[in-house]
Amino acid sequence: MDVIDKFLNKIAYKFPKGYPDMNNDQDVLLLESLLSDLLDEKFIFEAPSKDIEDGIEILKTEYGLTDGDFKEVSGKTYKVLVPKKERKKYFDEISDLDGFSVVQQNKVKYKDATFLIKPKDSSESYNIKPQNVGVKGDFEYSVDELLKDVKTGLNSVPTISPLQKKYLIQYLDNEVNLTPEEQEEIASDKNFLNQVQKNFSEISGVIHYVEEIINEPASKIEFPLKGNEKLVDSYVIKPDGTRVRISSKAKSGGNIVKPEGLLDSARDTNYEFENKDKEEILNTINDFSVIPVNLKLAKYGDENVEALKKQLEIALKNDPKLKDPNNRQLQYNLERELIRQINSKFDFSDVFNNLLDVVYVKTNTNAKTGIPKYSVVDPGNYRVVLQSKNTANPVRSLERIGFQMRG
């Protein structure tokens, strides 16, 4: 066995198919990262395409953006980081530039290049994701080692105050003990608490799972290098070598789960859907952008849904981006009623239970005291419903509907 074969065998478990699929963007990104670590220098299979370079130059010229406002996803895809409050404005204006076209909300194409319009001052503004607070990717931690690295890493995060650092350390240890005045100050920053629950709990939740749920303190904890693997935020490696896939979710309902990972699992296992309507609904949500999804799924609703669909189609002819509040309200009404009716007809829990082997660790942080509580949903016990985070506010970007875990 040569060196390359040994390397590929060693990393095989990190890939859904047991090997890096070079036609899968996420597999390519992960392999690039592993090779970069091995070689101790940046390694990419694909340099930025000419279309990417040209598109970046156009956006720099039009909006005064700098290199720091662009983040590589792949050779043909880049993120464009803009102020959160101006995200919709940037998307609308970029969409109207010569040569640019809309793929879906906040996603545009320039020739063969893709640009994702992302906020740079929203959910990551405090920089308390695992990779920002000292957690090493693809490293098997003991609980004590993980706690040590995170507590040390918090010292290097300039965006948090001394009180917030104190609170995060207590949060990690599950021993929040602040004075009433400190509690009030922490609770006053809702954005900070939201990020604690959404991002920092990826660390505290998996520690809670190891120490309190399975009660196997000798287990190891590993965070994927890229930090964006489908459905998985971390792994627990039990003393017997069993690997448990962990997904961390905020609040009782959790984040909205998109069907991409589910459908990948179905394809990889040649899963046969007993209900073809469920399969079509999942594929429609996965394959189309927000408004086309709702229009295509309207056939699963009653005459009221059909009437709303026709009204929206008329509105879209003169207002394709739904900037008019009345038209945005119409879209919201259609989506809300469609979701209600689909949920009354179909239960997708069986599909999730048949295809996913992920443990969901859900965190609910008290908005007044800052104390976290955890709950766990094991594979086979999922209860999911179709859900949406969209509102009728035309300033808010539209997102595709997905599924909420309510196990």
Proportion of the chain above pLDDT 90, given as a percent: 59
Q: Which pLDDT score, from 0 to 100, does residue 3 have?
A: 63
Q: Is the Cβ–Cβ distance between 147 and 207 less than 8 Å? A: yes
- Tens digit of each residue's pLDDT (9 = 90 or more) over 271-325: 999 999 999 999 999 999 889 999 999 999 999 999 999 999 999 999 988 989 9
Q: Is the Cβ–Cβ distance between 308 and 334 less than 8 Å? A: yes
Q: Is the Cβ–Cβ distance between 154 and 146 less than 8 Å? A: no
- Give the whole-angstrom CA distance, residue 231 versus residue 257: 8
Is pLDDT of 110 > 90? yes
* Lowest model confidence (mean pLDDT) among 74-83, 90-99, 168-177, 382-391: 74-83
Is pLDDT of 29 > 70? no
- Tens digit of each residue's pLDDT (9 = 90 or more) over 241-279: 999 999 998 864 456 788 988 998 999 999 999 999 999
Is pLDDT of 175 > 60? yes
- Give the whole-angstrom CA distance, residue 300 versus residue 335: 12
Is pLDDT of 24 > 70? no
- Tens digit of each residue's pLDDT (9 = 90 or more) over 317-362: 999 889 899 999 999 999 999 999 999 999 999 999 999 999 999 9
- Give the whole-angstrom CA distance, residue 141 versus residue 270: 35
- Give the whole-angstrom CA distance, residue 398 versus residue 264: 24
More confident residue, 68 or 98: 98
pLDDT band at 391 (very low <50, low <70, confident <90, very high): confident
More confident residue, 242 or 71: 242
Q: Which pLDDT score, from 0 to 100, does residue 73 have?
A: 73
- Give the whole-angstrom CA distance, residue 28 versus residue 86: 32
Residue found by looking up tokens 């739904």 in the block = 322
Q: Which pLDDT score, from 0 to 100, does residue 126 have?
A: 78
Determine the average pLDDT of the residues in 351-376.
93
Is pLDDT of 46 > 60? no
Proportion of the chain above pLDDT 70, given as a percent: 85
Q: Which pLDDT score, from 0 to 100, does residue 118 have?
A: 85
Please name every residue paired with 250 in a beta bridge, in sequence order, or none if there are none.
Answer: 363
Q: Which pLDDT score, from 0 to 100, does residue 45 have?
A: 57
Which amino acid appears at position 46 of this protein?
E
The two tokens of residue 8 are: 């590929």
Determine the average pLDDT of the residues in 206-222.
95
pLDDT band at 210 (very low <50, low <70, confident <90, very high): very high
Q: What is the mean pLDDT of the chain?
A: 87
Q: Which pLDDT score, from 0 to 100, does residue 250 have?
A: 80
Q: Which pLDDT score, from 0 to 100, does residue 406 have?
A: 77
